Every structure is written in C-alpha cells, then in structure tokens.
C-alpha cells in the first residue's frame, strides 16, 4: 500500500461540500513549520490531489490549516469571520505506508474532525 494523506470539507451550515476553501499543510519539526502543500478544494470539497503521497509521507507531526472565514466570506455568509478564522488540525502520522484521511465538518461557529478512511 502506498501511504497518502487526504482531506475534504463539508459546509454543515449550508449542507454542501465547501468548494473553494484553501487548505495548507505544514510538517512540524524541531520547532519549525515546514510548508508541504497548499491547495484549494474542488466542487466536491476535496483537493484534486492528496495533500501527501508516496515518498512525501514521513512519520511525524503535521498541521492542516483550513481557511474557514475566507471560504464563508466568498459565498456571502453574513457570519464569515465573526468567530472562526483559520481552523488548525494538528495530528501525527505514525505509519507512512498507511492511508490518512482528515475531514473537516464546519460552520462559521463550530467544527469537528476525525480520522476517516
């Protein structure tokens, strides 16, 4: 199996995928935040490519940054940026050969995440 990291975003306030949301990925190493990937979600709320795959997959600590306020502003939500701005999800990859899926369910006021399949 070739390891990979994927994500998707669901806009729970509007009941649809969050198309057009910027997502950044950083590897956290020795106090540094190393940029790894910067993508925009497609119409299905997914990135067109995995955030990490193959040789890019390395055990360690990572941070996904979901640009929530910008997304809600782009769709004209009057609540954009009133509470959530950029949502960070910090996690660890232990097995570089495994599949990691980190979805985000989000509204302007709340979010949840989990390790999906």
Contacts 24+ apart (CB under 8 A), 50-53: 50/4, 50/5, 50/6, 51/5, 51/6, 51/7, 51/23, 51/25, 52/3, 52/4, 52/5, 52/25, 52/93, 53/2, 53/3, 53/4, 53/5
Per-domain residue ranges for the chain?
4-109
**d(C-alpha 85, C-alpha 71), whole Å:** 10
Q: What are the pLDDT digits (tens) for 44-72?
A: 999 999 999 999 999 999 999 999 999 99
> What pTM was estimated for this model as a whole?
0.96
pLDDT digit of tens for each residue in the chain (117 aa)?
689 999 999 999 999 999 999 999 999 999 899 999 999 999 999 999 999 999 999 999 999 999 999 999 999 999 999 999 999 999 999 999 999 999 999 999 999 999 998
Q: Starting from the edge strand earliest in sequence, which strands make up the sheet with 60-67, in order?
A: 32-40, 22-29, 60-67, 86-93
* Other CB atoms within 10 Å distance of the CB of residue 3: 20
Query: Is CATH 3.30.1540.10 the right assignment for the domain spanning 4-109?
Result: no
Q: Tell me what pLDDT residue 117 has.
A: 84
């Amino acid at each position: 199996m070739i390891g990979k990291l994927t994500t998707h975003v669901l806009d729970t306030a509007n009941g649809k995928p969050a198309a057009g949301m910027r997502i950044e990925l950083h590897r956290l190493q020795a106090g540094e935040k190393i940029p790894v990937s910067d993508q925009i979600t497609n119409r299905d709320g997914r990135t067109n490519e995995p955030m990490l795959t193959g040789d890019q997959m390395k055990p360690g600590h990572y941070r996904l940054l979901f640009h929530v306020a910008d997304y809600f502003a782009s769709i004209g939500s009057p609540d954009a940026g009133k509470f959530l701005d950029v949502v960070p999800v910090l996690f660890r990859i232990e097995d570089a050969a495994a599949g990691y899926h980190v979805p985000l369910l989000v509204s302007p006021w709340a979010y949840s995440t989990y390790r999906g399949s």
